[in-house]
Each structure stands twice: as C-alpha cells, then as structure tokens.
Structure 1
Amino acid sequence: MDIRDAEYLVAVVDHGGVTRASKALFIAQPSLSQAIRALERDLGVELFTRGGRELQPTEAGLAFTAAARRVLADVDRGRAAVRDVVDLTGGVLTLSVLNSLAADPLPALAGRFHRRFPEVRLRSLSADTPDTVLRALRTGEADAGLSETGEFTHGLDVARLPDQELVLALHRDLAEELPDPVPVSALADIPMIVEIGETVQPPLENVAVECAHRQAVWELVSQGAGATLVPAAVAARELRDVEARRLDPPMVRDVGVLSRSGRKPPALAGLLALL
C-alpha cells in the first residue's frame, strides 16, 4: 500500500461510496474504482461489500482502513516535521564540541542561535579531542563541530571564529615570583592542571594533574595545586581568587565551526549565517 492507496481507501470509507469520494479527491470515478479493485487484488481480500448505493467496509476493510489512517497520520507528522526544519520552526541541530571550548565560545554562540531560532533545539555532544569531533562529523552523529582548526580539518568546511588567546591562571602564591607576562618557556617549571585530552602547542612538559571535568580543574587551581591555561574571556568571567597572567609570546588558539562539504541543513546554515 502506498500513500495514494491509503488516501483513496479512507476517502471511500468516509464518504460511503466511490462517487462522493471521487468528487472529494477530484479524480474520475472509474479511476478510483479501479484503484480500489487493484488494492483488493493485491491484498487478496474484499475491502467492501457491494450492493445498493453505498459501499460498506468488510471486517478486513475496517481493519485495513485503521492501518491506512495511521499511515496517513504518520505522513502528516513527517511532513510537518520537514516543514519545521526547513522553516526553522522546529528540529534539532547537533554540535560536537571540544571540551576546552565548552566555556568559550559555545555559550555565546548558543545564545545567539537561540535568540534567532528559538524553536530549534541545540544539542551539544562532548568531545575530548579534535579527533572525536571529526569522527562525529564523519559518522553523521553531529551536524557540525566546534573545535580547534588546522591541517587535520582538510576536506571539511571551516567557518573561522575569532582567535582565542590563552592565559595562565594560577593561585596567587604560585604567581608571586613569576614575571608578567609569563614567558612560555617558564611553563616547564610550573605544575600544570589540564583536562583529559586537552592539546596545547607547544606541548606542556610538567602536567601534574589530569581532570575529566573543567570545574574540577578550576577548583584545583584555586586551591594552589597548580596552574592551567584558559581562554582570557573565561578567566575574566569565571575565575575568582586566582591570578590570570598573559604569556610571552601570546598563546593563541585557532577555533571554528567545522561541517561536511556540500549543501547544509537549514539549521546549520542558520548558525553559520550568525558567525
């Protein structure tokens, strides 16, 4: 049974016969009669008892009509869902987000998107490394990725975001004897606290603690267990009772929104237009 068969069957049942149903469907009566007969042959049962001016559905016809109504209802819901996605009045946009970018720039980006498309749900998938972001894109698990950029993004479309400057956040006791700004070479002598999977160039040589959660990193820093590298915007907004020192030379991270090449889903196109 295809959608047309379902529409024809339900119309005949609802209108009590082929004549009225054909008028409602704006098709010729013989064509509708032939379609119903063909459906009965395919099913191997009679769907109607024929006698008098009206067609009465058989038990098989009633059962099949109920199934046809469910099919049409599902089709209507599917069409509505497609309209919602195309019109950006519904649907879901899934982003694979590198953990170290979850505090910045994800919140600002999500805020702009929600204000512009309040009916579209933004879903964020946690990614420990850029490779995890790429894997989510290649498998179709995510529509786009928020990640560091570089040669590894070859073959993907990259919408660049403003470069992200990293600063050194550390307890005041650790900061007392350090110059401001702190030479990058001095990081080798400072116990560092990092998120699991976090990558920094140049690589850190003195990692004292690896944590799975960003909040735990910040708590350890505030207790003097070590220092960490964070975006300057996050240090100014989130960290309290710690020192934030710039680095010399400045340590800058290239970030962007990654997506598969080709035509973009409407919600993703909407997000990219906001960048």
Structure 2
Amino acid sequence: MDFRQLTYFLAIVDHGGFNRAAAALYVSQPSLSQAIQALERDLGSSLFHRMGRKAVLTEGGTALVPRAREALHALELARASVGAVRELRGGRLEIAAMASPTVEPLSTMVRRFTERYPAVSLSLRVALTRADVVERVRTGSCELGLLTTSSPLPDTDVVPHHVGDHRLVLVTPTDGPFPAGRAVLREQLEGHRLIVGQRGTGIRAYVDDLKAHGIDVRIAVETEHRMAFLPLVLGGVGLAVVTESWAGLSERAGALVLDLEPASVQHNLLVNRRAQLTPAARAFLETAVPPADRNSL
C-alpha cells in the first residue's frame, strides 16, 4: 500500500467513479484501475462494486475511507510542516462552507489570507448544511469549515471559533407587499409565498418556526442553490428570508431588503478538527479569528 494508491482511492470516492477521478487526477483510467487492483490485492478485499460508470463502496472500502484520509492528512501535515520553514511558500488548504457565509465573512477572510500568503492555494468546497460542514471537517475531507447556526453545536470532534453574527432579513421586489424602511413583523408574513433553502439551514429553520407558531406561510420554491433566490424574488415567484450578508448584493440587483421583527440572529462559526493543524490551516485561523474569540489552536 502506498500514498499514491490511497490518493487514487479517495479520488474515486469523492468523484463518484473511475473516469471522473482519472480526469481530476490527470491520469489515464487504466493506470487508475491498475493501482486500485494492486491495492485490493494488498488488502485482500475488493473496495468497489463497479456499476457501469459508477463505483459504489463495498463494506471494506467504507472502512478504509477514514483511515485513508487520516494517512494522507498525516502526510500533508509532514509536507506542510517543512513548507512552514519556507514561510508557507506553497501548499493547499481546503475549506468547506455553507452558502450564506461565503458572501461574508468568508470573502474578507480569504482576501486577508491571500494578501499575506499568496502562494498558498485555497479550495472552497460547497456544503449545504451545518451538519455537512462538520462532517467534512470531522472526517478530514476539509481542514476548516465555515457554517451559520442559531444554536450551539452538539459535542463533536470539531473546535468552533466565533467569527461574527448576521441578522436575518427579508428580500422582496421593490414593488412588493411591504414599504421600504419599515421592519416587517413575522405575523405579517401570513399568507405570503416564500423561497426557502433545504432543511438543516438556519434560514429554513426560521421558516419552519413560523409555521410552528401558526403563521401560514407558503413555500413557493425549495432550493439548494442560494444564488437562485434573487432571480426568483425579482421574478415575482416569492419573498426570501436570507442573512444580512446578502443585503448589499440584493439591493444592487434591484431588490428591497427589510428588517424582520423580532430579530433573528445567525452565528458564524469557523471550525477545525481537534487533530493537529497544517501550518496553512493554522495561519488561516490566525488571520480570520480575533484573538479574543480564538479557541486553543
């Protein structure tokens, strides 16, 4: 077993098949298949069920995934530690982030980090819910994660760092049902059509809470694509509840942004594994998190 085989194995897992993994790795599909076959012989167990172009993990393959990630993470840590001597003149850092905080605070974090460490490559991975972010960080798929939540995280294998709060706001067309400059009471949303995200997001939890309090809002569209909210609002499909990080973009696009009462606040958390961090991840935390809000690094 070698690190190249483990890299190929995880690429197939992450890309869902041999062809896509080969393309992502810039290797030929036969070379990839031969490496996996050699790994399977070494382990004495098949790792994938081949189903056409898809590859489905066997029980043995499923057991190997976390161990393979740990092994490659250890190698990256060793390589990056050497790179730290060269003041981070290279390397790569993967960050999982939900949609809302990618507008802010992530864009500011990335700008500060890249200004200081321009040679480090950042890979920003989309995560749909806070559970997705935590899972990617916990398993080592990404070293850092950025999420929004209205409640504390349960006991997990990740360390949270508070990086600011955002209120929820209502986005409507300029000719919508509410006047500009006046906060909208949640009871006033009764009977209105809303565009919502999937379950597991703070925005969806707010809408579900409205319904739990007997406020009859109607879900016009449920979408995982947060960038679809604005076109749908401007097209008259419905109203949208989003974090205030989207306010500037919404107003520039021609939408009206209104406060909601009572106010509902989402907390932005940057999370990392409890394991030792690579120098790039540590540097990102040091540039992104105020010292007073920084947990043990």
* 1:82 to partner: Cα distance: 4.7
Paired residue type of 1:172: T
* 1:263 to partner: Cα distance: 3.1
Deviates more, 1:83-92 or 1:219-228: 83-92
**CA distance 1:241–1:179, change in 2 (3 Å):** closer
Is the Cα contact below 8 Å between 2:159 and 2:271 reproduced in 1? yes
Kindly report the root-mean-square deviation, in angstroms, between the aligned alpha carbons of the 2 structures: 2.4
Q: TM-score, normalised by structure 1?
A: 0.65
* 1:254 to partner: Cα distance: 0.6
CA distance in 2, matches of 1:81, 1:241: 45
Q: TM-score, normalised by structure 2?
A: 0.60
* 1:232 to partner: Cα distance: 2.1
Structure 2 unmatched ranges of 5 or more: 1-76, 212-217, 290-297
Paired residue type of 2:247: A
Is the Cα contact below 8 Å between 2:159 and 2:272 reproduced in 1? yes
Number of the residue aligned with 1:218: 230
CA offsets 1:116-173 (integer angstroms, 9 cap, x no match): 1111111111111111111101211010110124433424211101111121011123
**CA distance 1:99–1:176, change in 2 (3 Å):** closer
Partner SS, residue 273 of structure 1: helix
- Within a 5 Å distance, the mapping from 1:248-263 to structure 2 comes to 248-263=261-276
Q: Which of the residues 187, 191, 194 maps onto 1:192?
A: 194
Is the Cα contact below 8 Å between 2:100 and 2:246 reproduced in 1? no
Number of the residue aligned with 1:235: 247
**CA distance 1:116–1:189, change in 2 (3 Å):** farther
CA distance in 2, matches of 1:99, 1:89: 29
Number of the residue aligned with 1:120: 120
Q: Which of the residues 184, 191, 201 maps onto 1:182?
A: 184
Structure 1 unmatched ranges of 5 or more: 1-77
1:94 aligned onto 2:94: yes
Number of the residue aligned with 1:105: 105
CA distance in 2, matches of 1:263, 1:210: 39
* 1:203 to partner: Cα distance: 3.4
CA distance in 1, matches of 2:145, 2:189: 30
Is the Cα contact below 8 Å between 1:95 and 1:145 reproduced in 2? yes
Percent identity, please: 26
Which one has the largest radius of gyration? 1
* 1:113 to partner: Cα distance: 1.2
Is the Cα contact below 8 Å between 1:195 and 1:217 reproduced in 2? no
**CA distance 1:181–1:81, change in 2 (3 Å):** closer
